[in-house]
Amino acid sequence: MSGERTPEDKYVSAQRRRYLYIILFLAIAIGIAVYSFGVGSAVIDFNIAIKVIIDRLNGIVPDRSVDYWAWLRDMLVIEDTVPRALGGLIIGAILGVCGAVMQTCVRNPLASPYTTGISAAALFGVTLSLVLGFRFIPIPGETGLIMNAFILSMFPCLLMIMVSVKRKTTPTMLVLIGIGVMYLFNAFTMIMKYRAEPDVLKQIQLWSIGSLTGIGWSAVYVLFATLIALLIFMLCFSRKMDVMASGENQSISLGVRPDRVRIICMVAISACTSVAVAFSGAIGFVGLIIPHLSRLFVGSKSKMLIPCSAVLGALLLIASDVVARLLGNGLPVGAVTAVIGSPVFIYFLIKMRSNGWGK
């Protein structure tokens, strides 16, 4: 009968409606990021920040010798506030996507980039540099510190690859290897902290909790390239990942090599997570909770789950940073993400009529 919609048409319409959630969350995240321009500074409020940005877009750059305060406001907004907001959005997106892919690949709702030991290894790399002055690549300044974190965070990933090549690995085995690595590097870090001077100890603490302080434009460019590569790569693998979630034997029967796909995705996740950790420290909550929140809105299909996890991760992290800066100077964003994220997650689980996790 003309005009009567088939079940297939209804299914396609329902899928399209889910994209509206993604667009909505993206708009909210951008809105919060713009609002954050005027947060947490004694000299910059929202109106000043917006004026500075508009002036810059019109090519107006204050001269320090002519108007010092205008130059200072310009520096604070353009070199600190804006890249910090962008960095927060991008890091949140990376962590959200990595968490979603990790949980799908290892078929474990408790999996996150941090259960593979990546953040613990990265933190130990930072600690090595701060306490002993050791750097794998002798580059001075923060760059050398970041390289330490990046190089050591690849260790858990390479370990998983080696084990997978030697023998057939199950998703549970990969998570257990990651947990073992996490405890190992946490133990090394504790030993280093025991020997550290008080001021160095404070720095290590900041890295272990996570912070967006000090993210500049060079970091934003690297993070943005990482996010784009991650999204493209994972969306190309999205159908294979969905099949993998049905089980090892079923995956092979449907034409997917789960071990191969798992390792490829884990390498990509490890690399991208280590980049995020290298710039922001160990912000661990986002990768664990965001995929579950995303599933409540868009379901478990990776083609929806990945972009939704990206925008929700961005939203959570930038919102947490705003709250951290409102509450007081120097409060690490990682401390706030868990405080905000947990109640929100529990609220949605209780309120949503169907969460699909069974009886």
Residues in contact with other proteins by the rule CB under 8 A: 6-8, 11-12, 103-104, 107-109, 236, 239, 242-243, 245-250, 252-257, 295, 299-301, 303, 354-359
> Shortest gap between Cβ of 349 and other proteins (angstroms)?
12
When the beta carbons of 88 and 178 are compared against other proteins, the nearer one is 178
Distance CA 152, CA 111 (A): 20
Distance CA 95, CA 281 (A): 12
When the beta carbons of 15 and 186 are compared against other proteins, the nearer one is 15
Distances (CA, A) of 13 to 29, 207, 267, 306, 307: 25, 45, 35, 19, 18
CA-wise closest residue to 297 among 11, 10, 15: 15
> Shortest gap between Cβ of 79 and other proteins (angstroms)?
41
> Shortest gap between Cβ of 358 and other proteins (angstroms)?
5
When the beta carbons of 203 and 246 are compared against other proteins, the nearer one is 246
Question: What is the per-residue DSSP string for 23-81?
Answer: HHHHHHHHHHHHHHTTSS-SS--HHHHHHHHHHHHTT----TTT-HHHHHHHHHIIIII
When the beta carbons of 8 and 199 are compared against other proteins, the nearer one is 8
> Shortest gap between Cβ of 305 and other proteins (angstroms)?
9
> Shortest gap between Cβ of 100 and other proteins (angstroms)?
10
> Shortest gap between Cβ of 116 and other proteins (angstroms)?
17
When the beta carbons of 7 and 133 are compared against other proteins, the nearer one is 7
Distance CA 93, CA 283 (A): 12
Calculate Rg over the CA atoms of the chain: 22
| The token pair that represents 306 in the structure block | 């990945």
Tokens 């010092």, located at residue: 68
Question: What is the per-residue DSSP string for 258-298?
Answer: HHHHHHHHHHHHHHHHHHHHHHH----HHHHHHHHHHHHHH
Distance CA 85, CA 304 (A): 25
When the beta carbons of 227 and 241 are compared against other proteins, the nearer one is 241
When the beta carbons of 41 and 246 are compared against other proteins, the nearer one is 246
> Shortest gap between Cβ of 277 and other proteins (angstroms)?
26
In this structure, what are the phi and psi dihedrals at residue 118, rounded to the nearest 5 degrees? Answer: -65, -50
> Shortest gap between Cβ of 257 and other proteins (angstroms)?
7
> Shortest gap between Cβ of 160 and other proteins (angstroms)?
19
| The token pair that represents 329 in the structure block | 């100077």
Distances (CA, A) of 169 to 27, 165, 173, 175, 250: 41, 9, 6, 10, 16
When the beta carbons of 185 and 237 are compared against other proteins, the nearer one is 237
CB 261 within 8 A of CB 105: yes
When the beta carbons of 3 and 138 are compared against other proteins, the nearer one is 3
